[in-house]
Amino acid sequence: MSTLYEKLGGEESIAKVVDYFYDLVLADDTVNHFFENTDMEKQRRHQTKFISFALGGPNQYPGGAMAKVHEGMNLQPSHFDAIVRHLRAALVHFGVGEEDIAKALDKVESLRGDILYK
């Protein structure tokens, strides 16, 4: 059985989803301030590797532990929910099926505790 990563077309396709996702995030005043001083090209590459890994692709994710990476950001549930909403919209935009979206968002949801209130 193929992984969700393979089903979506691998890293190149996921990079397109991530680009669209960040277009949505940066247009959202509830969360875009978290990225004011962020190198977005680097962020997009980093997120593509992370999402690829989360969807069953190769582990090329160089990032630190989720709690450490988000330390001091004071992310709240509304922020996390906005990010999930934008990821869902990006996946829908690229024609990903509802069942696969649910699987992808379940992976993201499993990180909620590591990301919030840090």
Predicted confidence at residue 61, as pLDDT, reads 61
Could you read off the pLDDT of 24-67 as tens digits, one per residue? 999 999 999 999 999 999 999 988 988 888 788 886 665 567 77
Q: How confident is the model at residue 116 (pLDDT cuts 50, 70, 90)?
A: confident
Predicted confidence at residue 64, as pLDDT, reads 62
Domain spanning 8-115: CATH superfamily = Globins (1.10.490.10)
SS3 of the chain: the string is CCCHHHHCCHHHHHHHHHHHHHHHHHCCCCCHHHHCCCCHHHHHHHHHHHHHHHCCCCCCCCCCCHHHHCCCCCCCHHHHHHHHHHHHHHHHHCCCCHHHHHHHHHHHHCCHHHHCCC
Q: Which of 61, 79, 81, 62 is nearest to 118 (CA)?
A: 79
Q: Kindly report the average pLDDT of the chain as a whole number.
A: 88
Tokens of 40: 């977005």
Q: What pTM does this model have?
A: 0.86
